[in-house]
Amino acid sequence: MYKRILTIQDISCVGQCSLTVALPILSAAGLETAILPSAVLSNHTGGFSGWTFTDLTEDMPKICERWETEKIDFSAVYTGYLGSTRQIGYVKDIVKSRLVNGGRFIADPAMADNGKLYAGFDNAFVNEMKTLCASADIILPNITEAALLTDCEYRETYDSAYTDMLTNKLLEMGAKTIVFTGISYKPETTGVLVVENGASKYYEHRKIEGGCHGTGDVYASAFVGALENGKSTYDAAVIAADYTLECIEKTLGDKSHWYGVKFEIALPSYIKALGF
């Protein structure tokens, strides 16, 4: 069966994040990709001095109604940066109505990093995001997002007792499979912690200092692409980590490219890792 994926996140016209990253990566993974833009921004909100923001909340139920009429459904739904608190309710309706039986709902609660919410988000949004994550089959939070979703203190340095606590609280909240990104127990390494069916598995890899913008979106998109190609959760998490690392490596030397990563030139390695 030819898979059709729906991804719901914003269009940042410039900035190599959200849909401008998800669409090419999922296409490279051989997946038909339908999009539902949550908002249109001139550029992303991380590091630029300002941006335009057009909220597309009102379009969502109308678009979903059309899809219902046309009997268009999706093999998987993958959500990222959303445009309003109210929109989250519509996203849940769309998943309920348009995801095929047995299809996976993957939610990246893209709303925060480095201990801080992104511009424009508040507590009400976080609370609603908790309910979206509880309804998802797989969530991909970073440490900041996991702390916000569980009302825990954010820590810059931590050990496995801290990530175990976050894990347990996310599971209590209703999360099923968790792919924690950017988990760093030592200064020189970072990695991904995959929690599935009561077991945890950690993929540790080298850490590149600096931190690039948009890597969460690159990671989640590459993960979904691998997963929907039949890889296990852990294998998809590893493929996505290796790809994201290469994207960062290919970008670092270019100081003018501070706003995103050059994910395009690392696509050949990703495609090879998928076995095409």
**Footprint on this chain of ligand PXL (rule: CB under 6 A):** 10, 12, 17-18, 41, 44-46, 81, 110, 118, 214, 216-217
The two three-digit tokens of residue 257, written as one number: 């490219």
- Distances 113 to 110, 146, 172, 213 between C-alpha atoms, Å: 9, 10, 23, 10
* Closer Cβ to ligand PXL, 94 or 140, answer by number: 140
- The residue to which tokens 């190609």 are assigned: 229
* Closer Cβ to ligand PXL, 97 or 114, answer by number: 114
* Closer Cβ to ligand PXL, 6 or 17, answer by number: 17
Contacts of 129 (CB under 8 A, 6+ apart): 82, 88, 109, 111, 149
The minimum distance between CB 50 and ligand PXL, in angstroms, equals: 12
The minimum distance between CB 2 and ligand PXL, in angstroms, equals: 28
The minimum distance between CB 132 and ligand PXL, in angstroms, equals: 16
∠ CA(208), CA(237), CA(228), 5° rounding?
135
* Closer Cβ to ligand PXL, 103 or 216, answer by number: 216
The two three-digit tokens of residue 269, written as one number: 């390695």
The minimum distance between CB 42 and ligand PXL, in angstroms, equals: 10
Nearest to 86 by CA among 141, 131, 45: 131
* Closer Cβ to ligand PXL, 47 or 275, answer by number: 47
The minimum distance between CB 101 and ligand PXL, in angstroms, equals: 30
